[in-house]
Amino acid sequence: MIEIEFADQQQTLPVDKRRLEQAARLILDDHGPETVHLSVAVVDDATIHELNRQFLQHDYPTDVLSFLLENEAGRMEGEVIVSADTARAQAERLGVRADDELLLYLIHGVLHLVGFDDRHPRRRERMRRAERQYMEQCGICDHVWHVP
């Protein structure tokens, strides 16, 4: 059973919750345990900046944060927080759609929850391939790729 809750706490972008849920479910179906509770929040830069400072001691806004709250015997609980402000700014810089950029952030965050890592070159390439795979499964084949 996969349960996904959404909170849209920003005014920057219209959010297609169904699209984000579909992407999260694709990843969780492939890599997640049997029971998953996922919370997704779409926020502004001020909010993600504060969360980044509070939980990771990084004093700047970021694109995505993910927190694995529980991972035991067939059950996972996690949170993914994405910044609509950062998605819009990065999309303008890259010449891509802001909602596609936001989708990439969600995919990146959920991949972290299920064990993907981008801190080492070999693992980073595996994660980038997975990001491309899930973006393509969501119908995005022409996104300009960068490191989230």
What CATH number labels 2-137? Answer: 3.40.390.30
Report, as an integer, the average pLDDT of 62-88. Answer: 96
Q: Is the pLDDT of residue 146 over 70?
A: no
Higher pLDDT, 148 or 94: 94
**How many Å apart are CA 107 and CA 74, to the nearest integer?**
21
- What mean pLDDT is predicted for residues 7-25? 96
Instruction: Report how far residue 49's alpha carbon sits from residue 96's, in angstroms, rounded to the nearest whole number.
Output: 23
How does DSSP classify residue 4? E
What local confidence, expressed as pLDDT, does residue 144 receive?
62
C-alpha to C-alpha distance for 7 and 41, rounded to whole angstroms: 5
pLDDT of residue 145: 58
Pick from 104, 89, 103: nearest CA to 44: 89
75-89 average pLDDT score: 97
